[in-house]
Amino acid sequence: MGIHIPYLTSKTSQSNVGDAVGNADSVEFNSEHDSPSKRGKITLESHEIQRAPASDDEDRIQIKPVNDEDDTSVMITFNQSLSPFIITLTFVASISGFMFGYDTGYISSALISIGTDLDHKVLTYGEKEIVTAATSLGALITSIFAGTAADIFGRKRCLMGSNLMFVIGAILQVSAHTFWQMAVGRLIMGFGVGIGSLIAPLFISEIAPKMIRGRLTVINSLWLTGGQLVAYGCGAGLNYVNNGWRILVGLSLIPTAVQFTCLCFLPDTPRYYVMKGDLARATEVLKRSYTDTSEEIIERKVEELVTLNQSIPGKNVPEKVWNTIKELHTVPSNLRALIIGCGLQAIQQFTGWNSLMYFSGTIFETVGFKNSSAVSIIVSGTNFIFTLVAFFSIDKIGRRTILLIGLPGMTMALVVCSIAFHFLGIKFDGAVAVVVSSGFSSWGIVIIVFIIVFAAFYALGIGTVPWQQSELFPQNVRGIGTSYATATNWAGSLVIASTFLTMLQNITPAGTFAFFAGLSCLSTIFCYFCYPELSGLELEEVQTILKDGFNIKASKALAKKRKQQVARVHELKYEPTQEIIEDI
Ligand SMILES: O[C@H]1[C@H](O)[C@@H](O)[C@H](O)[C@@H](O)[C@H]1O
């Protein structure tokens, strides 16, 4: 069985159709010196990455996609433009990213404008931390179970459940006159954020064509940082409005209502329907997603999903979950994936970015800025813009490279902030920060400028790359693996939210920023030794790379090779046509 595309010839036409579900397509490229017509081949063979046994051509490598849904996806995406249906599903799922951003973002301004509206007194630093951290705690709790819940109840129902929690949480906050009602409202809202932060990228990755899966995941991050930016913008606008923070919270109901309404009319993912044994629904969703694809290919895609579903051992759900957990920890490549996934999420949080996200209003006020929310907009705007830069560079420049540019940049910016805070001389009188050289000073400007520089380096690398976590894990452990990594993210966020202001008080702002600088420096070392270059690699290649070590050198060489091969395909001016499947 073979696939034929212009300039690419079929190699293993003797393989039978049944093999195709389990077997993988492989793209084989010959030496650069070959003529275009001889340069590329697509074959269907085994699942391993191999050098072709071509002694005459050392440069031949076979790309063998995973024993995964990608087998058929390769055929589909060669022959399929992005359908409006997939765009709609991605758009609707990404609203969760927006909610994540908005709900974690508005608290910075709200903490300033709440004033004495709760219990008729100003919130202490400890109370500010509890109100902020409640959302992270809620998100941590639900992110642990969301992966399993999504398999039992469906991705769509989980997202709708998160909408319900957003509504209850928002109503409790809007009507709060006591600190505790506000904190409980934030906690319930956090339940929704935790579910959304895990399910939205999962939903997108399950409906996205393989070739653009990475980028579609970054779209969720763009919505997220966009949500934070909007929250800061609205916060600045409502700063001087009486009870403005209540409006700020109330506004979060709009995107929730939009997502809930849209989900009522949209289906779940094909993978979920296959898990439930509803193959007819799975086929229907695939047909709507891949409008240019033949029925035969769609059928094979469904068969493939059925095979994958059966590959998780166990008679019932608890047994399957237990076996998956076992596999995640005992298979060396899975364990390394887990170390990288959780490691990157922990680094994202423990290098301190969210202390700015949650408390930048408080920090800038301390430094002497009157409209601190407006300054916060510049910081979150920088975060958004550099997430956009990451969107364009994550595949081209590579994940490892942008991480290794971002982390040292962050370290440098944090060191400068620490020095500036030292000279600014902030003292604490009880829970109130007092700037020694009172008023606006040049050290204040240095702090603002380098916090912006920090934001840029953060968003370029560690702010974005950890959310690519699903590519680290093979299909059978992906749900639980990403659940662990997401929970690590929220645990880190919880620690930062609940300790940052206390740290400022106890070890001074200079000490706090120096501490984050130290962690950033250690994180650079971790990434240098443990994070392989994964851009352009097939999912199975990721597993092979992680099999007996972190194999940084090999990963870099392979990623480079893949890029050259993609460039060659472009050189061939390959036009997708129906011919692709003519030999099947
Ligand atoms: O990737 C996101 C993004 O960087 C946000 O700005 C941050 O607040 C989140 O914690 C993080 O997960």
Predicted pLDDT at 226:
96
Phi-psi category of residue 426: left, alpha or beta, with phi > 0 → left and psi -120 to 50 → alpha: beta
Task: Name the residue with the closest Cα to ligand 1, atom 12.
Answer: 463
Q: What is the mean pLDDT of the chain?
A: 80
Domain hosting 124: range is 79-265
Q: Which atom of ligand 1 is nearest to the CA of 345?
A: 12
ipTM passes above 0.90: yes
Predicted pLDDT at 430:
57
Tokens 């209003």, located at residue: 361
Cβ 252 under 6 angstroms from ligand 1: no
Q: What is the DSSP string of 422-452?
A: HHHTEEEETTEEEESS-S--HHHHHHHHHHH
Ranges 50-54, 307-311, 411-415, 463-467: which has the least confidence: 50-54
List, in order, residues 6 or more apart from 34 with CB less than 8 Å away: none
The token pair at 345 is 């999420």
My answer on whether 442 and 516 are in the same domain is yes
Q: Which atom of ligand 1 is nearest to the CA of 197?
A: 12
Ranges 322-326, 365-369, 396-400: which has the least confidence: 365-369
Of 265, 293, 320, which one is at a domain's C-terminal end?
265
Residue 94 contacts residue 216 (beta carbons within 8 Å): no
Predicted pLDDT at 389:
94
What is the crossing angle of helices 125-153 and 155-174, to 10°? 150
Cβ 228 under 6 angstroms from ligand 1: yes
Task: Name the residue with the closest Cα to ligand 1, atom 3.
Answer: 463
The token pair at 380 is 């979150």
**Best mean pLDDT range from 57-66, 307-316, 350-359, 506-515:** 506-515
My answer on whether 354 and 483 are in the same domain is yes
My answer on whether 223 and 357 are in the same domain is no
In 238-371, which ranges are continuous DSSP H helix? 244-251, 253-264, 270-275, 279-289, 295-310, 317-330, 332-350, 353-367
Its sign, for the CA torsion 580, 49, 342, 511, is negative
Predicted pLDDT at 315:
75
Burial grade of 261 (CB within 10 A; 0-12, 13-18, 19 or more): exposed
Q: Which atom of ligand 1 is nearest to the CA of 489?
A: 12
Residue 188 contacts residue 172 (beta carbons within 8 Å): yes
My answer on whether 185 and 325 are in the same domain is no
My answer on whether 471 and 528 are in the same domain is yes
Predicted pLDDT at 264:
97
**pLDDT at residue 537 greater than cutoff 70:** yes
Predicted pLDDT at 225:
96
Q: What is the pLDDT of residues 76-95, one digit of tens each?
A: 444 456 788 999 999 999 99
Q: Residue 213 sits in a domain of what CATH number?
A: 1.20.1250.20
**pLDDT at residue 578 greater than cutoff 90:** no
The token pair at 484 is 């662990």
The single-letter code of the amino acid at 27 is: V
Q: Do the domain assignments include residue 430?
A: yes
Q: Helix or strand or coil: residue 534?
A: coil
List, in order, residues 6 or more apart from 153 with CB less than 8 Å away: 161
Q: Which of 136, 344, 354, when mutated, tests ligand 1's pocket best, judged by the most ligand atoms within 8 Å of its CB?
A: 354
Pick the residue with more confidence: 193 or 55? Answer: 193
List, in order, residues 6 or more apart from 102 with CB less than 8 Å away: 227, 228, 230, 231, 251, 252, 255
Model confidence at 40, pLDDT cuts 50, 70, 90, reads very low
Of 522, 537, 552, which one is at a domain's C-terminal end?
537
Predicted pLDDT at 402:
94
My answer on whether 377 and 484 are in the same domain is yes
Cβ 305 under 6 angstroms from ligand 1: no
List, in order, residues 6 or more apart from 325 with CB less than 8 Å away: 480
Cβ 23 under 6 angstroms from ligand 1: no
Tokens 């020694």, located at residue: 436
Predicted pLDDT at 80:
53
Q: Do the domain assignments include residue 366?
A: yes
Model confidence at 39, pLDDT cuts 50, 70, 90, reads very low
Q: Do the domain assignments include residue 404?
A: yes
My answer on whether 319 and 191 are in the same domain is no
Model confidence at 100, pLDDT cuts 50, 70, 90, reads very high
My answer on whether 237 and 377 are in the same domain is no
Predicted pLDDT at 183:
97
Q: Do the domain assignments include residue 25?
A: no
List, in order, residues 6 or more apart from 160 with CB less than 8 Å away: 260, 263
My answer on whether 197 and 120 are in the same domain is yes
Q: What whole-number percentage of the chain has pLDDT above 90? A: 45
Model confidence at 502, pLDDT cuts 50, 70, 90, reads confident
Count the Cβ atoms, other than its own, within 10 Å of residue 283.
18
My answer on whether 99 and 247 are in the same domain is yes
Q: Which atom of ligand 1 is nearest to the CA of 228?
A: 6
Residue 135 contacts residue 190 (beta carbons within 8 Å): yes
The total number of structural domains in the chain stands at: 2
CA 396 – CA 413 distance, rounded (Å): 26
Predicted pLDDT at 13:
31
CA 168 – CA 188 distance, rounded (Å): 7
Task: Name the residue with the closest Cα to ligand 1, atom 1.
Answer: 463
Distance linking the first and last C-alpha atoms of the chain: 6
The token pair at 58 is 């050392």
Q: Do the domain assignments include residue 524?
A: yes
Ligand 1 center–CA 290 separation, angstroms? 32
**pLDDT at residue 300 greater than cutoff 90:** no
Q: Do the domain assignments include residue 130?
A: yes
Q: Do the domain assignments include residue 275?
A: no
Q: Do the domain assignments include residue 319?
A: yes
* Main-chain phi, psi angles of 13, to 5 degrees: -65, -10
Of 537, 559, 578, which one is at a domain's C-terminal end?
537
My answer on whether 336 and 218 are in the same domain is no
My answer on whether 255 and 342 are in the same domain is no
Model confidence at 237, pLDDT cuts 50, 70, 90, reads confident
Q: Which atom of ligand 1 is nearest to the CA of 493?
A: 10
In 238-278, which ranges are continuous DSSP H helix? 244-251, 253-264, 270-275
The token pair at 395 is 């595949």
Count the Cβ atoms, other than its own, within 10 Å of residue 516.
26
Cβ 43 under 6 angstroms from ligand 1: no
The token pair at 18 is 């049944």
The average pLDDT across 218-234 equals 93
CA 63 – CA 50 distance, rounded (Å): 8
Predicted pLDDT at 17:
27
Burial grade of 255 (CB within 10 A; 0-12, 13-18, 19 or more): buried
Among candidate residues 492, 491, 495, 485, the one with its CA nearest the CA of residue 141: 491
Task: Name the residue with the closest Cα to ligand 1, atom 7.
Answer: 354
Q: Which of 348, 356, 399, 407, when mutated, tests ligand 1's pocket best, judged by the most ligand atoms within 8 Å of its CB?
A: 348
**pLDDT at residue 259 greater than cutoff 90:** yes
Could you tell me how many helices (H) and strands (E) the chain has, helices first?
Answer: 22, 7
Predicted pLDDT at 419:
95
Cβ 380 under 6 angstroms from ligand 1: no
Ranges 405-419, 487-501, 538-552, 560-574: which has the least confidence: 560-574
